[in-house]
Structure 1
């Protein structure tokens, strides 16, 4: 199960200084993150990762040019918005659900 890491990871893609959002993601995850981050006003930079063998799936690194962006902070401080203007939750970020109620737990 994926979780949010509070660590701020930054570096460069080409000549552009970036904050890394996620590394080693597939095409579907790349597209979701790109759309969500751009919707929230962030400039996204994508880099194809090198394949070890030709049979390996193509993976990508997703980054933003905002050097202070940290997904953990933006999600838990409720700064990110979904496409229908709800707050992004941790489960929405990881594409576990499309439910956008701003709660992080369920009482059964």
Structure 2
């Protein structure tokens, strides 16, 4: 299990994302918006939406390891299946102590499948 889950969604509609969250969790509160971010609570987990965190990519962060998914990739696959937009995520849990060499390694999930690539955000 990862300590948290974070995925990046290409041009995703925030309300469509919330509708997907409502199917993945028993209870999701409405978004509480403040500037370019919004938060909701899904089964006691704080979920943060960073609008256009990197260019046209939105970040979705689950501040818990107790999500329905055991990895960023599992969440990315579920999000792609529900939303049909390209999703990006780290290939595993990364921390600054791991060094810069692997910081740009990412996975993308789209209609072609899963592919590792270098994303210099």
TM-score where L is the length of structure 2: 0.32
Structure ID, larger Rg:
1
What's the TM-score once normalised by structure 1's chain length? 0.34
